[in-house]
Structure 1
Amino acid sequence: MRILCLVPARGGSKGVPRKNLRVVAGRPLIAWTIEQALAARPSMDVVVSTDDDEIARVAEEAGALVPFRRPAELAQDDTPTEPVVRHAIEAARAADAAPDAVMLLQATSPVRLPGTLSRAIAQLEATGVDSLVGVVPQAPFIWTDGPEPSAAYDVTARPRRQDLTPQTLRYRETGSLYLTRPWVYDELDNRIGGRAGLFVMDEVEGVDVDTELDLAVAEQQLLSLHQPTTTGTPA
């Protein structure tokens, strides 16, 4: 199975300027995701889609392919991710490297445990689903606000945390990882479609960098996971 692993990295970020290049736990933020992708098994075509020359240089130094520059119309503040992925799929097909699956990794979610990406590939192959969405488990004590607030659990039979099961838990989409058959992008213009499956990740892998505080949290998690050195990042 040929897998296109795409890491989108736009140059213009507003909340944390140039965040893909910020040094976190000893290396540029984007380098963590690239190194994790390169270490996954089976190996993937690890491609960075960017409009930015400096990001392209750092990505290539980390070992990723940067075979094109993303067009300006696909690098706007309001550009959805799906057209960016379709652009990369079309480029791969034109280069005679058509993928059987596309792994979408967000560089802004740099914390992934050893074996996570390889486990996702194995789950896609074993289950035969059309798309996997990375999630982290959380307790079901969630409410929806409104004129009559409603709970996502039975308030008359509140479960104890230790009694929660995979079926009674809720799952939060992390934005970190999606693994999808190309036809889903072709026909549905979506990263999730067809028969979807949940790819359950560890709670620590739910970090998403949008603020300076998020960067600090990600750094602490990465330093903790990669002590005593940060010289390697397994998949």
Structure 2
Amino acid sequence: MPIAIIPARGGSKRIPKKNLRSFCGQPMLAYAIKAAQASGCFEHIVVSTDDAEIAETARQLGAEVPFMRNPSLADDHTGTTAVTVDAIKQLESLGFNSDTYCCIYATTPLLQAVDLVAAFQKLQNKQADYVFSAASYGFPIQRALKLIDGGFAVPFQPENIIKRSQDLEPAYQDAGQFYWGTRDAWLTGKGVFNGSGIAHILPRYRVVDIDTEEDWQMAELLYQALQQHDNK
């Protein structure tokens, strides 16, 4: 069966202790773990962390922490792929083996188990190397503006500024929730975004990147609204 890997380092600077901070009454880390548990997809749900407090919280929530991440892989410049590859190698050295791994971000309170299941099915059915969460941009990126000296606005692509939205090709963003991938794809360094990955599209109202206090507040409002909707 697949193995879930949840990277959760201790040194968040913009939002201190982001992975442990209470989000609508639960540690932020709880949402990724509970979604993985609810999906039923995984034999093991593993948290990769350098932080003892995160490790203890992860275990209390039902995840496994069979190794501690090297601090050299917990700085501001280490990417998701490097952390995932390290986790796979660490797990295999401990006897945890799988053909499929899913990296799930720790700060994903809007993640739903049904999307983990559907994305896994796509990975199997389409024989892709990766399946990742994505969402459409709410406005055509071809009509984006930039500010020059004095705050004056000019278009990035002047040739598209007067075109109708429906005449422009839709664009999508990485939703930053999860990345399903085969073991071989992770370990051989195949990139997710070089044509090897299939996008699993999420509605925009279930996607938020939590990097600032404003992001956090928006995410809580979205989560509460979705909870109220689901409870009706």
- TM superposition score normalised by structure 2: 0.85
Residue 227 of structure 1 and its aligned partner are, at CA, apart by 3.9
Gaps of 5+ in 2: 149-153
Alignment of 1:55-204 (within 5 A): 55-139=54-138, 141-142=140-141, 143=144, 149-151=155-157, 154-155=160-161, 157-160=163-166, 168-188=169-189, 190-192=191-193, 195-204=196-205
For residues 154 and 228 of structure 1, the distance between their equivalents in structure 2, rounded to whole angstroms, comes to 38
For residues 25 and 146 of structure 1, the distance between their equivalents in structure 2, rounded to whole angstroms, comes to 37
Residue 43 of structure 1 and its aligned partner are, at CA, apart by 3.1
Q: Is the 8 A contact 1:46 1:64 kept in 2?
A: yes
Q: Is the 8 A contact 1:20 1:55 kept in 2?
A: yes
Is the deviation greater in 78-87 or in 66-75? 78-87
Residue 140 of structure 1 and its aligned partner are, at CA, apart by 5.5
Q: Is the 8 A contact 2:36 2:45 kept in 1?
A: yes
For residues 42 and 3 of structure 2, the distance between their equivalents in structure 1, rounded to whole angstroms, comes to 10
For residues 81 and 23 of structure 1, the distance between their equivalents in structure 2, rounded to whole angstroms, comes to 24
> Aligned in 2, Cα 1:209/1:159: closer, same or farther, shift over 3 Å?
closer
Q: Is the 8 A contact 1:141 1:151 kept in 2?
A: no
Q: Is the 8 A contact 2:140 2:170 kept in 1?
A: no
For residues 223 and 55 of structure 1, the distance between their equivalents in structure 2, rounded to whole angstroms, comes to 25
Gaps of 5+ in 1: 231-235
Q: Is the 8 A contact 1:131 1:197 kept in 2?
A: yes
Is 1:37 paired with 2:36? yes
> Aligned in 2, Cα 1:141/1:153: closer, same or farther, shift over 3 Å?
farther
The residue that corresponds to 1:22 in the other structure is 21
Amino acid at match of 2:112: L
For residues 78 and 219 of structure 1, the distance between their equivalents in structure 2, rounded to whole angstroms, comes to 27
For residues 191 and 158 of structure 1, the distance between their equivalents in structure 2, rounded to whole angstroms, comes to 31
Amino acid at match of 1:35: K
Residue 205 of structure 1 and its aligned partner are, at CA, apart by 2.3
Residue 20 of structure 1 and its aligned partner are, at CA, apart by 0.5
> Aligned in 2, Cα 1:73/1:226: closer, same or farther, shift over 3 Å?
same
The residue that corresponds to 2:151 in the other structure is none
Amino acid at match of 1:130: D
Give the count of matched residue pairs.
Answer: 224
The residue that corresponds to 1:53 in the other structure is 52
Is the deviation greater in 10-19 or in 184-193? 184-193
Q: Is the 8 A contact 1:137 1:170 kept in 2?
A: yes
For residues 205 and 152 of structure 1, the distance between their equivalents in structure 2, rounded to whole angstroms, comes to 32
Percent identity, aligned pairs only?
Answer: 31
Residue 154 of structure 1 and its aligned partner are, at CA, apart by 4.7
> Aligned in 2, Cα 1:110/1:69: closer, same or farther, shift over 3 Å?
same
Amino acid at match of 1:196: G
Amino acid at match of 2:2: I
| Larger RCO, structures 1/2 (Cα 8 Å, 6+ apart) | 1
Give every structure 1 segment of 4 or more consecutive aligned residues whose post-TM-superposition deviation is greater than 6 Å: none
For residues 189 and 180 of structure 1, the distance between their equivalents in structure 2, rounded to whole angstroms, comes to 10
For residues 224 and 146 of structure 2, the distance between their equivalents in structure 1, rounded to whole angstroms, comes to 38
Residue 97 of structure 1 and its aligned partner are, at CA, apart by 2.3
Q: Is the 8 A contact 2:36 2:113 kept in 1?
A: no
The residue that corresponds to 1:233 in the other structure is none
For residues 195 and 203 of structure 1, the distance between their equivalents in structure 2, rounded to whole angstroms, comes to 23
> Aligned in 2, Cα 1:45/1:79: closer, same or farther, shift over 3 Å?
same
Q: Is the 8 A contact 1:136 1:203 kept in 2?
A: yes
> Aligned in 2, Cα 1:209/1:118: closer, same or farther, shift over 3 Å?
same
Q: Is the 8 A contact 1:59 1:66 kept in 2?
A: yes
SS class of match (1:20): coil
> Aligned in 2, Cα 1:185/1:192: closer, same or farther, shift over 3 Å?
farther
1:46-92 CA distance string (max 9 Å, x none): 11000111111111111111111101111122222222111110122
